[in-house]
Amino acid sequence: MIKCFIFVISIFMVNVVSAQELKCPDKVYSESELINIVEEARKSRTDLPGKYLKYETSVIKLRCLYILYERPIPATEDVYQTFTIDPYGELMDFYVNKK
């Protein structure tokens, strides 16, 4: 029983260490590069939302992922769309929030 417990704990400890050692690629994308990635994806994917006529963008980085926010101008409460881009410059997901 003790051997089984030690085995389970050792597996848990290995996984914790592996998660802490996550390293993002050296390439860091600028906001303009991320906008270009989304624009290129819009050309080939009909499921992506169109851009607003006038809009502003901002970027949040979550570990190795980039979240590109697009908001219309003038700002409308709770209306925005986001695009999740992986550390290799591939569009992974999008979300449209409309009130």
Full DSSP string of 8-34 = HHHHHHHHHHHHHT----S----HHHH
pTM score, two decimals?
Answer: 0.75
Is residue 31 assigned to a domain? yes
**What per-residue confidence (pLDDT) applies to 9?**
58
3 in any annotated domain: no
pLDDT confidence of residue 77: 79
Instruction: Give CA–CA dist 93/95, Å, rounded.
Output: 7
Evaluate whether residue 12 is within a structural domain: no
Q: So what's the pLDDT on residue 76?
A: 80
* Position 47 in a domain: yes
9, part of any domain: no
Q: Which helix (H) or strand (E) holds 5?
A: helix 2-20
Per-residue pLDDT of the chain (99 residues; tens, 9 = 90+): 555 455 555 555 555 555 566 789 989 999 999 999 999 999 999 999 998 999 999 999 999 999 999 999 998 878 999 999 999 999 999 999 875
Residue located via tokens 């860091």: 28
As for how many domains the chain has, the answer is 1
Return the pLDDT at 20. 60
Q: Residue 55 sits in a domain of what CATH number?
A: 3.10.450
Domain annotation covers residue 15: no
Establish if 4 belongs to a structural domain: no
For residue 51, what are the domain limits?
24-97
14 in a domain, yes or no? Answer: no
